[in-house]
Amino acid sequence: MFRFAVSAIRNIKPIQFQQLSTRIINQPKSFSTLSTRICAVAYNGCWNNSNLSLTTNKQVLDVCNNLIIPSRTVTKFSLKRGKRKTVKAAVKRFFRLHWGAWIRTKIGRHKKLWKKSQPQKRRLRQHVFVNATQNVLLDKMVTKYWKRPKYYVDDPYEPYHTREEFHITRKKPRETY
């Protein structure tokens, strides 16, 4: 029964418009060249002075004006008040140090450990800093609560919460030898 339905759908012929069929055949297949042709038509007028061009179609123009370029600066908002919400994946995967840097573990630290050497396993257990772009993005993805310093008992990251190597962020005076 399913075979008959597929063959019936294949045999349905599309509605053909005599005026548009020759124009569609002559158009290129890639979107980039198509968009340049549409722009050229918009500036030069429509094809053969007919009323069937894309520049006179109001629906096409409305869709073109409402196109939004997607970007991955995801910030969640609450539905009731519109306040920013924390993206839980950012808090689970990354850790923020007190001076504003985010750290993460290396990728693949739990995968196929049987084939990795001991030095490679040791390197995979280490943490790395994220770059500046990811740092700004992660700060946007969390609320003020996660940006405040948090003090834990026996914190393994305690030596890394301060930056003593820079003269601007140094808290203790530098020892001279």
Q: What is the pLDDT of residues 52-81, one digit of tens each?
A: 566 677 776 666 666 666 665 567 788 888
**Please, is 167 exposed, middle or buried when counting C-beta atoms within 10 Å of its C-beta (0-12, 13-18, 19+)?**
exposed
Beta bridge partner(s), residue 128: 104
**Fold entry, domain 76-160:** Factor Xa Inhibitor (4.10.410)
Place of tokens 């203790």: 172
- pLDDT higher than threshold 60 for residue 92: yes
* Confidence (pTM): 0.55
Q: Report d(CA 102, CA 129) in Å as an integer.
A: 6
pLDDT at residue number 139: 94
**Please, is 24 exposed, middle or buried when counting C-beta atoms within 10 Å of its C-beta (0-12, 13-18, 19+)?**
exposed
- pLDDT higher than threshold 60 for residue 122: yes
Domain boundary assignment for the chain: 2-65, 76-160
pLDDT at residue number 172: 79
Neighbours of 96 (CB within 10 A): 22
Task: Tell me the residue ranges of DSSP E strands in the chain.
Answer: 76-77, 84-85, 95-96, 102-105, 127-129
Q: Report d(CA 105, CA 93) in Å as an integer.
A: 8
Q: What is the mean pLDDT of residues 34-57?
A: 54
Q: Report d(CA 44, CA 146) in Å as an integer.
A: 56
pLDDT at residue number 46: 47
